[in-house]
Chain A
């Protein structure tokens, strides 16, 4: 348990750190994908099969490809030569440190207030499906409508405005 946790955590950290530090943008996306796979493995290690597989399906299968396409269509994938200015980097470090402090404080205070559970809760895919279809059916439908609207909007934006058929 602990050995596999440390291996997976190392994969995740190396992947995300490389995503921030590499020069070539496509390399950044690929190493970010490695980090996301590491996160999915962490979910699987905690016994959350549904979340883990969905993470791979959505982030590796869709978001990574989307990011790659966006990079290739908007700018060249050649490595950047000039670094951002020093003040920019300083503010970035400050923001990152603040976010980390807030998250760490929230997590540490949350774990103290929780009752100590030794056994992990058994949540099967079946239960998630039942909950989505009964208790949370309205949010699910709203998200569905929102995504459909986004899809239609994207298709309209991409359409040929002159109306001439190909």
Chain B
């Protein structure tokens, strides 16, 4: 019985496909795979906006939304209707076509990456040979749409915001990719399905998740920090720093186009979190072998919600970084540490299994961490900044 519940969506699709004429099979199969993803993740986006506003309200000692529906949980519906009925304002000097295309490109790119994310056992849209590569390739299209939005608005705030966002995204994409390389090395495959299948085995009751190794834990932490920066969230939200450049690259957007940017940003956050789950946290695998009776997709979404809550918690806790701190942190700490982490994963692979490789690899990473953070502090990270042109 747990088997059937676990595979219920796969069986449902097979049952529906039985009624389809063979000529239409490829098209209907694609639609049946894509539509649930197109429904589930925007729904998750709606839930997350409420969770985030209520969570942040709780942390800042206020109520948050509580008027629409029970406990304010229908707030996203009201927001959606509001943004649909708002006037669509386009600046007079704006580049109309590029201005229109930018939110479309960001939403398309954000949705495309879900093609390779395994949501449950046998539940992935496309099991590509180079799945991880596809994820990062399509994810890099977001930068282009950010530039299109910032440049086409012909506003200095949006251009500044776009420049900041692109500089930050390019800088943090390198640690993001390098942190996932350790998992690719360990799994020997770029396919997300293979990576999850390798982690879904158990020793005793404990799973083989990559996060339970020293290099895996380091990689996971680097990946999550870089993912926070990639999705422009606090403490890395200075591309849209409200106090400085109002709303960054999408300042000149109103109505539903603004909502599309919002949707694209959250979908990107979910996608990178889902990738972190796939690479390090065992994807849809249960955390203990005696819990495998719970369906795989429940585990996936439980892990995703846990990571989203962590994101909200961080947003409510940390202040925003300064631009030079941001760049120093990316290039002088994250990049060297992720390179050393790759070396540590190699050492782990070639040493005999046992306590000795735990000790050696942990020592390598800890020493690297300490030395790099000392180097950052010697670089006067928290020093008062002198402004060359202002003073």
Docked pose: A60 CA to B140 CA in angstroms: 7
B172 part of interface (Cβ distance < 8 Å): no
Identify which of B137, B138, B170, B189 contacts A65 (C-beta below 8 A).
Answer: B170
Docked pose: A72 CA to B148 CA in angstroms: 13
Docked pose: A69 CA to B143 CA in angstroms: 12
Residues of A within 8 A of B188 (CB): 126
Q: How many residues of A contact B (CB 8 A)?
A: 23
Within the complex, the shortest CB–CB distance from B329 to chain A, in Å, comes to: 16
Given contacts A33-B144, A60-B140, A166-B386, contact A65 B133 (CB under 8 A): no
Task: Flag if B151 contacts A26 (CB, 8 Å).
Answer: yes
Docked pose: A72 CA to B170 CA in angstroms: 17
Residues of A within 8 A of B138 (CB): 56
Task: Flag if B148 contacts A56 (CB, 8 Å).
Answer: no
Residues of B within 8 A of A68 (CB): 147, 151
The binding surface of chain A is classed by DSSP as: helix
Residues of A within 8 A of B130 (CB): 49-50, 53, 125
Within the complex, the shortest CB–CB distance from A15 to chain B, in Å, comes to: 13
Residues of A within 8 A of B151 (CB): 26, 68, 72, 77
Docked pose: A50 CA to B136 CA in angstroms: 12
Identify which of A30, A60, A69, A125 contacts B190 (C-beta below 8 A).
Answer: A125
Q: How many residues of B contact A (CB 8 A)?
A: 27
A152 part of interface (Cβ distance < 8 Å): no
B41 part of interface (Cβ distance < 8 Å): no
Residues of B within 8 A of A30 (CB): 98, 144, 148
Docked pose: A126 CA to B173 CA in angstroms: 23
Task: Flag if B190 contacts A56 (CB, 8 Å).
Answer: no
Docked pose: A72 CA to B151 CA in angstroms: 10
Given contacts A65-B147, A65-B166, A125-B129, contact A166 B137 (CB under 8 A): no
Residues of B within 8 A of A64 (CB): 144
Total contacts A to B, CB within 8 angstroms?
64
Within the complex, the shortest CB–CB distance from B220 to chain A, in Å, comes to: 23
B86 part of interface (Cβ distance < 8 Å): no
Task: Flag if B133 contacts A57 (CB, 8 Å).
Answer: yes
Given contacts A50-B130, A60-B144, A65-B170, contact A166 B324 (CB under 8 A): yes
Docked pose: A64 CA to B140 CA in angstroms: 11
Task: Flag if B128 contacts A57 (CB, 8 Å).
Answer: no
Within the complex, the shortest CB–CB distance from B382 to chain A, in Å, comes to: 14
Within the complex, the shortest CB–CB distance from B308 to chain A, in Å, comes to: 26
Residue of A at shortest CB range from B146? A65
Q: How would residues 71 to 106 of chain B score, 1 for a CB under 8 Å from any chain A CB and 0 otherwise?
A: 000000000000000000000000100100000000
Docked pose: A27 CA to B151 CA in angstroms: 11
A62 part of interface (Cβ distance < 8 Å): yes
List which A50-93 residues lie within 8 A (CB) of chain B.
50, 53-54, 56-57, 60-62, 64-65, 68-69, 72, 77
Within the complex, the shortest CB–CB distance from A1 to chain B, in Å, comes to: 12
A124 part of interface (Cβ distance < 8 Å): yes
Task: Flag if A57 contacts B140 (CB, 8 Å).
Answer: yes
B134 part of interface (Cβ distance < 8 Å): yes
Residues of A within 8 A of B143 (CB): 61, 65
Docked pose: A72 CA to B130 CA in angstroms: 34
Residue of A at shortest CB range from B141? A60
Within the complex, the shortest CB–CB distance from A26 to chain B, in Å, comes to: 6
Identify which of B98, B136, B324, B388 contacts A57 (C-beta below 8 A).
Answer: B136
Docked pose: A160 CA to B92 CA in angstroms: 40
Residues of A within 8 A of B144 (CB): 30, 33, 60-61, 64-65
Identify which of A61, A125, A166 contacts B388 (C-beta below 8 A).
Answer: A166
Within the complex, the shortest CB–CB distance from B150 to chain A, in Å, comes to: 10
Task: Flag if B134 contacts A53 (CB, 8 Å).
Answer: yes
Task: Flag if B140 contacts A56 (CB, 8 Å).
Answer: yes
Residues of B within 8 A of A26 (CB): 151
Residue of A at shortest CB range from B159? A72
Docked pose: A156 CA to B151 CA in angstroms: 29
- B residues engaging A (CB < 8 A)? 95, 98, 128-130, 133-134, 136-138, 140-141, 143-144, 147-148, 151, 166, 170, 173, 188-190, 324, 385-386, 388
Given A49-B128, A49-B130, A166-B385, 7 additional A-B pairs, CB 8 A: A26-B151, A50-B130, A61-B137, A62-B140, A65-B144, A125-B130, A166-B388
Pick the 4 closest A-B CB pairs, nearest first: A61-B140, A57-B137, A56-B137, A53-B137
Can you list 29 A-B contacts with CB-CB less than 8 angstroms, sorted by A residue number? A27-B95, A27-B98, A30-B98, A30-B144, A49-B128, A49-B130, A49-B133, A49-B134, A50-B129, A50-B130, A50-B133, A53-B133, A53-B137, A56-B140, A57-B136, A57-B137, A60-B137, A60-B140, A60-B144, A61-B143, A61-B173, A65-B166, A68-B147, A77-B151, A124-B129, A125-B129, A126-B188, A166-B324, A166-B388
